[in-house]
Amino acid sequence: MEDQSRRKGKEIAQISQNTGFPELNLSLVELTILVQILRNIELTTIISNSDEDLDTVFQYYKNQYISGFSHLNFDISPIVRGTFDKMNQVIVYYNCLLNEIKIPVQANEADKLELIKNRMKDLSLIMDINKYKFLIFDEFNFRKALAYYYNDPNISADQLYNLAMSILPEKGEKVIDRMCSRLRKISNAERNIFIIWHLFAFAKMRIRSFILFYKQYPNYYDNILENFWQLMIQQGYNDFLQEKISILSYVKAYDELEVKANNWMEILKQLSIFQRENVEFMYNKFRFTRERMLMSLQEAENSQENIIFPASFMPDTDVNVKTHFRLLYLHFGNYF
């Protein structure tokens, strides 16, 4: 049976569950895993690995995170694996939205050229330069026309974009149509950047829920840890440092995620693929409408329109804390 702190903690942090959403609860252990992964993810990594799906990206950062605890076998922990199952629930929701992002087929040449210019500009911002070169020189057959620049190691994506677009009107109808067909679809990198931005907000909101719980029950986790330390000492394990939960570390993580989200939004705002409104999509057999694809972090977090996947904070059990305390943000002193 749940103790009073666990029951009330869930009520305090509970976010209203909208129709169509499964119940999703995150414990502090699970939240810390997610937060640490998001703190380590860099935009340059997403751009350099633009063909990788999010599951692969997250698995890489998860392995990087828990490799320092290899002797504890966290790689086979049901809690660690369960964290990824919960993350995937969130990712599926945003993928359902992004699957409906399609640029209509253009009827006349002027509209086709405009589509190509906009989308090639988008990709110049979020593709690795070598992949962008391959796209222009090989996929879209600009190699002959831009032969002088083919082996230029110093050319930037922006320079290459301007050169290619300057001769775009000279391309034949088949090439133009092939480019339009390729560029109408949202790219994998755009998809990943969009979803991770929402995960930044998702994690921030969950940290806030944990802090609210901590204010109500400041000794919940520290009491579990204290009992565990005393048990270890009684059993002769004197090498355990008697740590406590570091609220300061969670506040710092909260601030870091906010900075990252704001920086990533500066890229998202430049992508024409997301300049659209009232996108309808199906999730979990329910229909939703996304009025605007992009908005500020504050707008997203305060919105009642399912911008951020709803979830709740659920305090960990004693057993989960004792078996996974190394994954938590802890400190040794009397400060937060």
135-181: pLDDT as tens digits: 999 999 898 889 888 889 999 999 999 999 999 999 999 999 999 99
Query: In the prediction, which pLDDT does 228 show?
Result: 87
SS3 call for 246: coil
Percent of the chain with pLDDT over 70: 91
Residue 125 has pLDDT above 80, yes or no: yes
Task: Report residue 335's pLDDT band, with 50, 70 and 90 as the boundaries.
Answer: very low
Query: In the prediction, which pLDDT does 6 show?
Result: 53
Query: In the prediction, which pLDDT does 218 show?
Result: 93
State phi, psi for 96 to the nearest 5 degrees. Answer: -60, -40
Query: In the prediction, which pLDDT does 139 show?
Result: 92
The residue among 215 and 4 whose pLDDT is bigger is 215
User: Is the CB of residue 125 less than 8 Å from the CB of residue 108?
Assistant: no
DSSP 185: B
DSSP 136: I
Rounded to whole angstroms, the Cα distance separating 208 from 12 reads: 11
Query: In the prediction, which pLDDT does 240 show?
Result: 58
SS3 call for 196: helix
Residue 18 has pLDDT above 70, yes or no: no
pLDDT digits (tens, 9 = 90+) for 82-98: 999 999 999 999 999 99
- Give all strands (DSSP E) within 218-293, no chain letters: 244-245, 277-283, 286-292
Residue 273, number of CB atoms within 10 A of its CB: 24
Query: In the prediction, which pLDDT does 5 show?
Result: 52
Percent of the chain with pLDDT over 90: 73
The whole-chain average pLDDT of the chain stands at 89
pLDDT digits (tens, 9 = 90+) for 290-328: 999 999 999 999 998 899 999 999 999 999 999 999 999
- The residue whose two tokens read 């040794």 is 332
Residue 273 sits at the vertex; the CA angle it makes with 271 and 276, to the nearest 5 degrees, is 110
Residues ≥6 apart with Cβ < 8 Å to 203: 31, 34, 35, 38, 257
The residue among 205 and 242 whose pLDDT is bigger is 205
Q: Lowest-pLDDT range, 46-60, 179-193, 255-269?
A: 46-60
Q: Lowest-pLDDT range, 64-68, 217-221, 279-283?
A: 64-68
Q: Lowest-pLDDT range, 61-75, 195-209, 232-246?
A: 232-246
120: which 2 tokens?
């090639």
User: Is the CB of residue 163 less than 8 Å from the CB of residue 128?
Assistant: no
Rounded mean pLDDT of 67-73? 79
Rounded to whole angstroms, the Cα distance separating 66 from 161 reads: 41
Query: In the prediction, which pLDDT does 19 show?
Result: 66
Query: In the prediction, which pLDDT does 14 show?
Result: 41
